[in-house]
Amino acid sequence: METLHISAECFPAAKVGGLADVVGALPKYLNRREVISRVVIPCYQNKFRKENLWENTYSGNINLGIETFSFSIQREQTNKLGFELYVVDLPELLKEENPYGYTNDIERHLGFQIAVVNWISSMKKKPDVIHCHDHHTGLIAFMMNYCNEYVALKSIPTVFTIHNGNYQGWIGWEKENLLPAFDLAKRGMLEWNNCINSMACAIKCCWRFTTVSEGYLEELSKAALGLESLIRSEKQKAIGILNGIDTEVWDPETDPMIEKNYGIEKAEKGKKKNKEALCKSFQFENDKPLFAFIGRLVADKGADLLPNAITQIVLLEKLDVNFIVLGSGSADYENNLKQLKERFPKNFNCVIGYNEKLAHLIYAGSDFLLMPSRTEPCGLNLLYALRYGTVP
């Protein structure tokens, strides 16, 4: 069986968050189980793109409204990721380094999706399953089913995975003309709450949809920014599958990004060495408990709760502990954390930005992970640093 994964992120080629981790790992392990799995993402002008060799495998044009853009599909030559990775090089639309955050994100995502569907149409041997991830790929099942040019793809089953239901790919109807010509009787499949909603459209048009845990499926059926009734009504084709981390990438025994490698028997000593390195770089004392948060600094991660919770712990509880936050996101939250650093230089430090290496060292060296929580009185759940072994 052959599957093609379509995503905006894939570790290590392009990562913003957990979506990249899943798309960079699942195909690798599916391949080992003889499900031939390939991945296609947009081409970003980033380090991975520049440092790797690419082979042109297909060239074509897409129409986006009245404009025509040329694109090519390029394959990373070595297959070193454990699967074939393809990028859609669409130079006039995908000029940027990062996956998101640009004023023309709608056009960028649409151009990517149309190019991928064109490419699939051209394949002699088509994938048996098309697996789309998150809203950036949410219109693909619709195009394969209802766009005149692509009717030949109608029989290929599509799976859609919801990694984060808070971003749904809302597109105003005024941009409808950017889509390839489709059966107008099916216009309703695009629609949710008076706009084109890519995620709703995917849920309606896909063969099956999955969420990144069983609990998340339950949660979405109750609260999904307006999609809850749709999720409930389509539940017969949904399944929650708990995702995980790639234990070959996140293995303290072999991880090249940490200070000192360690296995299960030497976990205590190993974590200590990593903690020392981490504390040294942040000028913290080693013998204090070290709490860490790594993630996008946005409200749905509870990043707004961090400053108050940390202030409470330091000032009211008078706990002599240290905190490190690594992340980027809302400018307000970033500023609040920077101010906290000035206020509590001995106990708190933050690094604003994306830093994969530091993330590995933080997981290896910290004692606890902070999980912001709106239901806890202090705004936090404290978890032992499970990812890299616990030394409570």
Q: How far is the CB of 368 from ligand ADP (least distance, A)?
A: 15
Give one DSSP letter per residue of 58-95, joined into a string. EEEEEEETTEEEEEEEEEETT-TTSSEEEEEE-TTT--
> Which one, 180 or 295, has the nearer CB to ligand ADP?
295
Interaction with ligand ADP in 20-39: which residues (CB under 6 A)?
21
Using CB under 6 A, pick the residue from 17, 27, 99, 379 that binds ligand ADP: 17
Instruction: For 337-370, give one letter per residue: b (16+ CB within 10 A) or e.
Output: beebbeebeebbbbbbebeeebbbbbbbbbbbbb
The H-assigned helical ranges of 71-161 are 105-122, 140-146
**Residues 85, 88, 90, CA angle at the centre, nearest 5°?**
155
Among 46, 63, 164, 213, contact with ligand ADP (rule: CB under 6 A): 164
> Toward ligand ADP, which CB reaches closer, 267 or 299?
299
133 binds ligand ADP (CB under 6 A): no
Residue 7 CB-density burial (10 A; 0-12 exposed, 13-18 middle, 19+ buried): buried
- Using CB positions, name the residue nearest to ligand ADP: 17
What's the DSSP call for residue 292?
E
Is residue 355 a contact point for ligand ADP (CB under 6 A)? yes
Asked if 62 and 68 touch (Cβ cutoff 8 Å), the reply is: yes
Q: Is 312 in the site for ligand ADP (CB under 6 A)?
A: no
Q: Is 167 a residue that touches ligand ADP (CB under 6 A)?
A: no
Per the rule left: phi > 0, alpha: psi between -120 and 50, beta: everything else, 10 is beta
Q: Given the complex with ligand ADP, which of 17 and 127 has the nearer CB atom?
A: 17
> Which region holds residue 349: left if phi is over 0, alpha if psi is between -120 and 50, else beta?
beta
> Does residue 157 interact with ligand ADP by CB under 6 A?
no
Residues 358-377 as x/- pattern, contact with ligand ADP by CB under 6 A: -x------------------
Residues that bind ligand ADP (rule: CB under 6 A) add up to a total of 16
Q: Among residues 181 and 331, whose Cβ is nearest to ligand ADP?
A: 331
State the binding string over 257-296 for ligand ADP (x if CB under 6 A, else -). Answer: -------------------------------------xxx
The structure tokens listed for 38 are 């390939």
Residues that bind ligand ADP (CB under 6 A): 17-19, 21, 164, 294-296, 301, 326-328, 354-356, 359
